[in-house]
A and B are shown apart, each in its own frame.
Chain A
Amino acid sequence: MSLMRIGAFLYSTLRLSTPLIFAALSAAICEKAGLFNMAAESMMLWGALIGVMVNGWTGSVWVGFLGACLAGVVVGLLIALATVKGKADLMLAQIAINLASTGGTIFMLFVVTGDKSTSAMTIQSDTLPKIFVPFKKVPIIGPMLNKQNILTYGAILAAVILYIFIKRSKTGVHIRAVGENPNAAESVGISVSKTYFLTWAISGLLGGIGGAFMSMAYTSAFTKNMVAGRGYIGLCASSMVGGNPIGAMFCAIVFGVADAVANQLQLTNAPVDIVMMLPYIVTIVVLIIISVIKMKAHARKIRSKAQKA
């Protein structure tokens, strides 16, 4: 493979990874708070749709982007409302929201535009700017980074910021404390329900940005079911590393690599389906290995405690 093609391959890997990274981060913060985020799917769908709509109305791509963020936050807060205030089962509430969102976005698109599958013909929307790097002649790195969308950089930046936020900030510590043991956190004066609301809002924000990338960068329109399981992949990427944002980012990139490989192979005669299957098999195997390691460590801890006693 020539250097040119390696560069192009890495370019498409990063591009395909971007929405996965946002989904993974959205799941990661929830995981740190002891929650389980299956609804990144919905956050991204609404983000993608509302972003395009607001963009079309106002004519400004950045206002559209804000709209997408807000849409994600609203979905997050809805889940918080149903589970914290309404005491609904977390899993059921999220499955319900996912169900309502797949249909709801199509329905809303229809009400606004009269089209049932895509906004491409009816809403005039732009894409977020691409970044041109000065070193585009450098082999591999140049073509890999040149003309990447600003949100691709945003994804990597978001992972770092989220990492620092969870690790260092006071709110981040509160979120982790609630995740470790909500009762203990409550007893030292941390409001658990407030923390949950905040976590869902941040998670929704990240999911909304991921959605904005789908409809305002990856493509330039909203199409129905465009998220296509990326939220679930993000959830897996995050649970492979126990909710560490940086780790979640790298896991998401691994899925991106698989996507890019599958895209390349689609041009050849290789069995695409088997290639598409591989990342999922790897995830399951890794998840099981990690769980076994954790289990062993836990057993060791108990044994050493028993010996001391």
Chain B
Amino acid sequence: MNKTKRIENTFDIVRILIAIAVAYLIALIILALISDDPLNVIGLFIAGPFSSKKHIGDIFTRMIPLIFTGLCMCFVYAINKFNLAGEGAVNLGGCLAACVAIALKETSVPGWLCIILCIIVGALAGMLSNAIPAIADQVFHADVCVISLMLNYILLYFTTFILKNVIKDQGAAVTASYKLGSKVKLPKMIPGTTIHIGLLIAIACVVFVAILFYKMPFGYKMRAVGINPTFAKYIGIPVTSTIILAQIIGGSFAGMGGAVQILGMFPRYKWESLTNYGFDGLMIAVLARKNPILVPISAFLIAYIRNGADLVATKTQIPPEFVSIIQGIIIVLVAAEMFLSGWKKRLIFNAARKDLNEKEAKA
């Protein structure tokens, strides 16, 4: 690797870390300014999520859906198509998985097979949701972002329709489906925490996607298309099918995420609004620089910040939504090329001059 490239790569990581630090600092300042007891609140925000076994477990539990949608958005972001249908795919995946679980509840199908079927149905639902904008974009040249935003609402209302008319438990006090049954409940991994086996599934998906991205021809093709579609076309990569396929594969993870979240966390299906996991996934993909291996790390970070905010909210009046400000700042700083670009140029310039001086000294 040449020197400039190396500086650029290290610099990118440093830049993301600085962006996170800046945003975190802003959050701490805000917390300090508005609370009556700043030291305790800040302590709770920073150390709270690590204060007990249960709390640490909660971070990992919270990571699970974020990893799935993060992987989905890695595909979308790697080919530079802002297909946001992953948001609705989570709902659809969760809803259809719940339907399957309810349908199989009374049958003699073994539990593990039920779980696998639910997750497969979730994945198929995600593929379908992501495929619609992808095809509309590539075949008909309609704007993928607009179509996917509209599709999210269609998927939302479709799932609420199913919830209210097909799987609603009339006996329940609120709008909720029938009980999914203990058969499909994802088993807990570590006693005393909420971590369920979904975490293993998520990690397995990360490994699979990492291999797909970096060790398989399709991954190379996909990244080439994302970086420069015209060039990819000239060297003979089927651009259209690669773009569509990448989005469909990505969608399967979002749908799977919805299914795993429902099976792992809830006794009944009752999502009546969009979950926001999809948009969170995009943020995680941005933080991970479209690298699937870094997705769990950025998901961990976001889950940690959110759990800290939730803990602050339980002990004080401060609403947990303030973390979304941090998230916004992080994305803008990471996305803004000009942020710290002067420093990067100086580094590259100095390295180049040093090289030149060495060469002249030799000559």
- Residues of chain A having any CB pair with chain B under 8 Å: 36, 38, 82, 85-89, 91-93, 95-104, 106-107, 110-111, 114, 116, 229, 232, 235-236, 239, 271, 273-274, 276-277, 280-281, 283-284, 287-288, 290-292, 294-295
A269 to chain B, nearest CB (A): 11
Q: Is the CB of A86 within 8 A of B161?
A: no
The answer, among A88, A239, A291, for a CB contact under 8 Å with B141, is: A291
Q: Count residues on chain B whose CB falls below 8 Å from chain A CBs.
A: 45
Segment among B179-187, B259-267, B336-344 that sits at the interface with chain A: B336-344
Q: Can you list 23 A-B pairs with a CB-CB distance of less than 8 A?
A: A86-B332, A86-B336, A88-B332, A88-B335, A92-B286, A93-B335, A99-B283, A100-B325, A103-B324, A104-B328, A106-B319, A107-B322, A116-B317, A239-B143, A239-B146, A274-B161, A280-B150, A284-B132, A287-B142, A287-B146, A290-B142, A292-B140, A295-B141
Please tell me if B63 contacts chain A, counting CB pairs below 8 Å: no
**At the interface, is chain B mostly helix, strand, loop or mixed?**
helix
The answer, among A104, A232, A294, for a CB contact under 8 Å with B149, is: A232
Please tell me if B125 contacts chain A, counting CB pairs below 8 Å: no
Interface centre among A88, A95, A96, A290 (most CB of B within 10 A): A96
**At the interface, is chain A mostly helix, strand, loop or mixed?**
helix
Counted as pairs of residues, one from A and one from B, with CB atoms less than 8 Å apart, the total is 147
Q: Which of B139-158 contact A (CB under 8 A)?
A: 140-143, 145-147, 149-151, 153-154, 157-158
B88 to chain A, nearest CB (A): 10
The answer, among B34, B153, B322, for a CB contact under 8 Å with A277, is: B153
Q: In the complex, which residues of chain A have a beta carbon less than 8 angstroms from the beta carbon of B149?
A: 38, 232, 235-236
Known: A86-B339, A91-B82, A111-B34. Contact between A96 and B321, CB under 8 A?
no
- Residues of chain B having any CB pair with chain A under 8 Å: 34, 82, 132, 136, 140-143, 145-147, 149-151, 153-154, 157-158, 160-161, 164-165, 279, 282-283, 286, 317-319, 321-325, 327-332, 335-339
B195 to chain A, nearest CB (A): 27
Bound CA span A82–B141, Å: 28
B176 to chain A, nearest CB (A): 16
Known: A95-B279, A294-B141. Contact between A284 and B136, CB under 8 A?
yes
Bound CA span A2–B147, Å: 38
Q: Is the CB of A100 within 8 A of B336?
A: no
In chain B, what residue has the closest Cβ to A117? B319
